[in-house]
Structure 1
Amino acid sequence: MSTTTATATEQIPSSRTEADPARVAKGKPLAHIAGVPVYGWGQAPPYLRTKTQLAAARLNVTEAQEKAPLAYIRTREYGDVPLHDPAAAEKMRPLPSSTKAKMAARRTCPECNKVRKEILRGRPCSACRERAEKERQRLLARTCAGCSTVRERPYPKEHRRCQSCRQEQLEKKRARVEAWLVEVTVCAGDGCTKRRGSKKAARAWLKEHPWLLRAERTDLPDSMWWPNWSRRCSPCQKAYDAEQERRQAELQERYEREQRERREAEARAAEERERWAAAALVDPDVLVLDTETTGLDEDARIVELAVLNSRGEVLLDTLLNPGVPVPDDAAAIHGITTEALVGAPTFSDVLVQLTGLLDGKRCLIYNKWFDVGRLQHELTLHYLDRAAREAAEEAVRTGTVPEDLRERAVAEARKQAAAWLDVMQFEDVMIPYSDWVGDWSEYHGNNRWQPLDGGHRAAGDCRAVLRCLRSMGRAYAGEYATAGAVAGGTSEGTN
């Protein structure tokens, strides 16, 4: 025994065994999760398996293995996947015969009745689909493209038609060629039959461009339909150019006339808006109304109501208790909180006063649709209480409760609310004012709606509406103020 061999024998005890290569990691861990190493792809001990790999081997991960994996493997798509020891896993119980039959049924092809590897769910397998496609192609090759006649031998691949259909196809093609030759070799002028080129040259050019006669090519420009010679003879071309110039001049004249009429209509509309605003400021029958609400939804309630006349005098300015809390986002806008409405009157309390103010007057509102909608909602609730009381009295009187009691009460309340609104005259200010400002929006296709700078309080917004009217009617303010003064003096003299 050599010295080297003896030294090595003394360093390695005879009781020690070499490590199993399958249980040795191929690389160092990238990180640790709760003390468990995380390996890169292909660096973990080869004997470890993922849960999916164990399931493929008919093994189940135990609860202890689930809680304490031996390692992790880092993947790009699934993150850190736990690894387990196959020796500690449990064998899966054999599947019942009924389950196996169901699994086999899902993988059975209905055409060939063979069990395939992939799940079919009643669809043909790939072999049957491929066979069916080949059969379809063979049938298509034996079917005439013209009359759909099927024969035993395939038709020629060039045209796939029977003899009679092929002759008909060639006749149509010859007719198209003759028509095209006449089109490109005879002047296109009305009543002119002068030749503009030879048919021989046209046939040669058509032979180089056979696709021109296809039906789907009819939308090509004229420059791709014939050779470089002109479509018309010189006199016809001059007459054609003159006719085109005349039509172009007519179109230009019509366009200029329409633009001039449009500008005149816009100017008239602008003048009408300005005169409407100036007249409203001196009209004693004009009132301005605004509301503050609990929100912007259909069930929003009015928490403040104000009515001013055209001179800016306050006729009504009050808080209203809606009976519901004011949301924080609404209170942050107008500053009216639920606590501030304690002790305030309800809408029903001021309805008689509001009706007296608006009856027979022109009521101007900024964004009429919203405020009128809130008034309609409040009116419906007001009349609903009265309709419910009347229905209850009827039930007590008759001793029976109708099944449609609520529906009848709601329908009656809506009817009375609509009747109240019908006798009022509401006019919108937002659209005329936005059109007067003229901030055009390409996205919406009209003028942008202008915000009302009134501080989000009812009376302040009414004063802001009056400022908008003064801005719009500034050009005619003096004219309508003089007319209003003369009308007032005449009225006093008459009295």
Structure 2
Amino acid sequence: MKPLGAAAKAKMAARRTCPKCGKVRKQVVRGKECTVCRAKAYEEQRRREARTCWGCREVFERRLPAAHHRCGECRSKQLAELREKAAAWVEEVTVCAGDGCMVKLVTKTEARAFQKSQGKGRSWWYRAEHWARRCPSCTEAEERRQAEQRAEYERREQERREAERQEAEERQRWAAAALVDPDVVVLDTETTGLHAEARIIEIAVLSSRGEVLLDTLLDPGEPVPGDAADIHGITSDLVAGAPTFSSIAVRLTELLDHKRVLIYNKWFDVARLGHELTLHYLDRAARDAAEETARTGTAPDDVREQALALAGKQAAAWLDAMTFEDVMIPYSDWVGDYSEYHGSNRWQPLDGGHRAAEDCRAVLSCLRAMGRAHADDYAAAAIGADAMSEGTD
């Protein structure tokens, strides 16, 4: 084997040299010190800790007693605290624990003798098994109090279970009634994303019986992001040439006016409707501002702010005139997949394929599953109501 050169030997020695003590060790030194220096530092720390008071943390020249690790002053304080605790314990166990009761249960001499038998230096003591905590009258009163607490707890638990049962039945009846209500429609949208500026690119409205009232793509006037298209499959090419939201706004208003609009996670879809309505009314406000400028020959400085504020008010008024109801929370509560982390039932995904009309049909499927127990009752009532209306006609 060819002998190592001086440079290689120097590198190997440098790797085995301790940065702290400067000595060359047999093994490679990893870190800021070798194992010998580390062991010395550990022993020094142990010796220093043996000379450190556990009370005041002052370091002395000599080792402190291993029994308590305290200096004279701190040991005196510790013993004084132990005596105070011991005296307080004796006062506590010799008198009845009932509120305001001063009946003596055992003598202080007996309590001190039992206390000493538990061992020296202890800061807490057991109670003798044959000692009563309360006198007979206080024991009886405590048993009555605990019995009343148990009865109150059971009553509240029964009321809670009954309230949950009623809420569950109300959810089921709500779903069953919605399926036969002619004033119920289901709405769903597909968008360019989940952000606050996302645009609607597909919207569908179905009746409670599954009839398609509206199902159309919408041209958002901007490209559809690839990550959104990967979810619902709607690309920019598909929405090219589709109607705009403004062109279907009147038809949408006619379908939703005086109806109960059911939406799965209504907060998202209602927010998207509000954004589209704001843009719709903003175009109208901009046209009005342009006509005013052409008529007067002057343009106010805050014309855009005024137009945006007016459009927002008009969009909010449109939404306030509608009745939106959420399906996701009732359905998730009906499924009952409780999360300890969130302290509520987990939101259930809607298995509709991420297309507006199919998602509406999935919502109707959720309603059928929820209202199955009462479906026959409400269906019979709906048939009876139709028969009465036909007879009146």
Give the TM bin, normalised by the shorter chain.
Answer: 0.7 to 0.9
- Alpha-carbon distance in structure 1 between the residues aligned to 2:31 and 2:127: 61
Structure 1 position 326, deviation (Å):
0.4
Asked if 1 retains the 8 angstrom alpha-carbon contact of 2:105 and 2:131, the reply is no
Give the secondary structure class of the aligned counterpart of 1:456: coil
Question: Is the alpha carbon distance of 1:191 and 1:433 closer, same or farther for their aligned partners in structure 2, counting shifts above 3 Å?
Answer: closer
SS of 1:401's partner is: coil
In our comparison, the structure showing a higher alpha carbon Rg is 1
**Aligned counterparts of 1:43 and 1:333: Cα–Cα separation in 2:** 56
Name the SS of the counterpart of 1:287 in structure 2. strand
Match of 1:19 in 2: none
Identity of aligned residues (%): 61
Tell me, yes or no, if structure 1 residue 476 matches structure 2 residue 374.
yes
Q: 1:226 to 1:457 in 2, by over 3 A?
A: closer
Q: Trace 1:109-128 onto structure 2 (pairs within 5 A).
A: none
TM score, norm. by length of structure 1: 0.60
Q: Distance in 1 between matches of 2:107 and 2:224?
A: 87
Deviations 1:308-358 (A, max 9, x none): 111111111111000010011111111111011111000000000000111
Whether 1:196 aligns to 2:106 is yes
CA shift, 1:395, in A, is: 2.9
1:364 aligns with 2:262: yes
Counterpart of 2:8?
A: 28
1:121-160 to structure 2, matched below 5 A, reads 158=73
Contact 1:287 1:364 in 2 (8 A): yes
The residue aligned with 1:451 is: 349
Change (3 A) 1:199 1:414: same
What RMSD over aligned residues (CA atoms) do the two structures have, in Å? 3.7
SS in 2 for 1:28: helix
Deviation of 1:399 (Å): 3.2
Ranges in structure 1 where 5+ consecutive residues have no aligned partner? 1-23, 30-37, 45-73, 79-136, 138-156, 160-172, 213-223
CA contact (8 A) 2:91 2:108 kept: no
Give the deviation of 1:268 after TM superposition. Answer: 0.9
Structure 2 equivalent of residue 300 of structure 1: 198
Report the Cα offset of residue 254 of structure 1: 2.0
> Is 1:310 the equivalent of 2:202?
no
Measured after TM superposition, the shift of residue 227 of structure 1 is: 6.8
Counterpart CA distance in 1 for 2:322 and 2:392 is 30
Matching residue of 2:339? 441
Matching of residue 375 in structure 1 with residue 262 in structure 2: no
2:121 and 2:208 map into 1 onto residues whose CA distance is: 80
Q: 1:182-232 CA distances to partner (integer Å, 9 max, x unpaired)?
A: 5454455555544622459739958x86886xxxxxxxxxxx368748765
Tell me, yes or no, if the aligned pair for 2:205 and 2:212 is still in contact at 8 Å. yes
What are the superposed Cα offsets for residues 70-125 of structure 1, whole Å, 9 maximum, x if unpaired? xxxx99689xxxxxxxxxxxxxxxxxxxxxxxxxxxxxxxxxxxxxxxxxxxxxxx
The equivalences for 1:69-468 within 5 A come to 158=73, 182-188=91-97, 191-194=101-104, 196-199=106-109, 202=112, 224=124, 228=128, 232=132, 236-468=134-366
User: CA 1:187 to 1:401, structure 2 compared with 1: closer, same or farther past 3 Å?
Assistant: same
Greater Cα offset, 371-380 or 430-439: 430-439
Distance 1:244 1:393, change over 3 A: same
SS at structure 1 position matched to 2:203: strand
The yes-or-no answer on 1:486 pairing with 2:384 is: yes
**Distance 1:338-1:76 versus aligned 2 partners, 3 A rule:** farther
**In structure 1, which of residues 25, 39, 42 is the aligned counterpart of residue 14 of structure 2?**
42
Q: Is the 8 A contact 2:90 2:111 kept in 1?
A: no
1:139-169 Cα offsets, whole Å, 9 max, x none, are xxxxxxxxxxxxxxxxxx849xxxxxxxxxx
Q: Given residue 315 of structure 2, which amino acid in structure 1 is its aligned partner? A: A
How far apart are 1:284 and its partner, in Å? Answer: 0.8
Aligned-pair CA distance for 1:453 = 1.4
User: What is the SS of the residue equivalent to 1:321?
Assistant: coil
1:481: how far off?
Answer: 1.0
Q: Which residue of 1 aligns with 2:67?
A: none
Contact 2:192 2:224 in 1 (8 A): yes
Letter in 2 for 1:244: E
The 8 Å contact of residues 28 and 39 in structure 1, kept in 2 or not, is answered as: yes
Q: Which has the higher contact order (CA 8 A, sep 6+)?
A: 2
Structure 1 residues 210 and 461, CA gap change in structure 2 (3 angstroms): same
Count of paired positions: 338
The residue type paired with residue 174 of structure 2 is: W
Closer, same or farther in 2 for the Cα pair 1:193/1:351, shift >3 Å?
closer
Deviation by residue 1:394-422 (Cα, 9 ceiling, x = unmatched): 33333333222221111111100000000
* 1:239 CA drift (Å): 3.5
CA distance, structure 1, for counterparts of residue 101 and residue 165 of structure 2:
50
The AA in structure 2 aligned to 1:39 is: K
2:15–2:29 contact (8 Å) kept in structure 1: no
Q: Deviations over 1:22-73 (max 9, x none)?
A: xx954637xxxxxxxx9334389xxxxxxxxxxxxxxxxxxxxxxxxxxxxx
- 3-state SS of the aligned residue for 1:317? strand
